[in-house]
Amino acid sequence: MKSRAWKLIRRVLFPYLPLTIVLILMLLPLYWMVITSFKGEVEIYSYSNQSPLGVRAPTLINYQYLFTKIPYARFLLNSATVALVTTAFSLLVSVMAGYAIAHLRFSGAAVIGVLIFVTYLIPRTLVFIPVTVVIQQLGFYGKLASLFLAYPTFVIPFCTWLLSGYFRTLPIEPEECAMVDGCSRIGAIARITLPLAVPGILTAGIFSFTLTWNEFLYAVILVNGEMNRTVALGVVTKFVVGDWYYLGPLMAGATLGSVPVAIVYFFFMDLYVSGLTAGAVKG
């Protein structure tokens, strides 16, 4: 009986207790953000008669404030536009570069792959000055279009490294057989390789969308004007004044800003994990 009890405890306690602790630690900030967005100002700053992890009088006043007092809808539109355009362009370049590094035989392919990933590892705090100078010389400084030029500089290197690793997991033989049967290389890639690489491409797309949606540094430096702000920039500039935080609207804006990313991960989580693990292992 003791042996059976110990086995039961070991099966239940050892795997699930650490996972439960980690899950609580990870979800607690998200839970606090959501419940704070439904609190009024008095309830947020008064802890004498209530728990900070509960809601006594739920209200939508913070969400109403977002769409009546500030152009939050425009912030969402700007973030969506920048994220989608950057993702589409970065995937186009990364798919071609990743395929070339993985399947085309030319000298220096491995070195180029490493250098591309090293480019991603360079902190943005070290390169934002030259990037800003280049964008200013091109005449895009202060405009939302400046982010279309800045974001691919750190999205493309990682997506290329990820996709080159994923393309290495795909066999080259079906593509060569198609070429023997008269199909061009581009046709073989479009009909055989790319359909097989959908999990990896989706993984790179999700990464690109998430990173550009949440990006803050370049948005602060390159964009001027209230109507050009993204969600990450607009929420902070509107609800953080000096050392004072307007927690209700701030948490409401952060909650709504997290919804698109959460939806993307919810629908494509399986493909994201499979593409990420395959690319990381082979890369």
Q: Say whether both 161 and 35 belong to one domain.
A: no
User: What's residue 282's pLDDT?
Assistant: 46
CA dist 273 → 104, 120, 201, 205, 219 (Å): 26, 21, 12, 13, 29
Q: Say whether both 129 and 263 belong to one domain.
A: yes
Q: Say whether both 195 and 232 belong to one domain.
A: yes
User: What's residue 264's pLDDT?
Assistant: 82
Tens-of-pLDDT digits for all 283 residues of the chain? 556 666 766 776 777 778 888 888 888 888 989 998 998 888 887 766 667 777 888 889 999 999 988 999 999 999 999 999 999 999 999 999 988 888 887 777 778 878 887 887 888 888 888 899 999 999 999 899 999 999 999 899 989 988 888 888 888 888 888 888 888 888 888 888 888 888 888 888 988 999 999 999 999 999 998 899 999 998 988 888 777 888 889 999 999 999 888 888 777 766 666 555 554 444 4
Q: Say whether both 23 and 124 belong to one domain.
A: no
Q: Say whether both 71 and 30 belong to one domain.
A: no
**Which run of H or of E encompasses 73?**
helix 72-103
The whole-angstrom separation of Cα 103 and Cα 170 is 9
Instruction: Give the domain-ending residue among 24, 39, 59.
Output: 59
Handedness of CA 32, 37, 38, 42 (dihedral sign): positive
Tokens 């004007």, residue located = 225
Radius of gyration of the chain (CA): 24
Q: Say whether both 41 and 20 belong to one domain.
A: yes
User: What's residue 230's pLDDT?
Assistant: 93
Q: Say whether both 24 and 152 belong to one domain.
A: no
User: What's residue 146's pLDDT?
Assistant: 93
The whole-angstrom separation of Cα 171 and Cα 151 is 32
Token pair listed for 7:
């086995």
The domain total for the chain is 2
Q: Say whether both 126 and 108 belong to one domain.
A: yes
Q: Say whether both 81 and 165 belong to one domain.
A: yes
User: What's residue 49's pLDDT?
Assistant: 66
User: What's residue 275's pLDDT?
Assistant: 52
User: What's residue 84's pLDDT?
Assistant: 94
**Which run of H or of E encompasses 245?**
strand 244-245
Contact 132, 141 (CB under 8 A): yes
Instruction: Give the domain-ending residue among 15, 36, 59.
Output: 59
User: What's residue 279's pLDDT?
Assistant: 46
CATH code: domain of residue 180: 1.10.3720.10
Contact 219, 232 (CB under 8 A): yes
Q: Say whether both 203 and 145 belong to one domain.
A: yes
Q: What is the number of other CB atoms lying within 10 angstroms of the CB of residue 135?
A: 22
User: What's residue 83's pLDDT?
Assistant: 94
Contacts of 237 (CB under 8 A, 6+ apart): 229
Q: What is the number of other CB atoms lying within 10 angstroms of the CB of residue 159?
A: 30
Q: Say whether both 107 and 7 belong to one domain.
A: no
Contact 34, 55 (CB under 8 A): no
User: What's residue 179's pLDDT?
Assistant: 83
Instruction: Give the domain-ending residue among 59, 76, 105.
Output: 59
Q: Residue 44: give the domain boundaries.
A: 2-59
Q: Say whether both 25 and 94 belong to one domain.
A: no
User: What's residue 91's pLDDT?
Assistant: 93
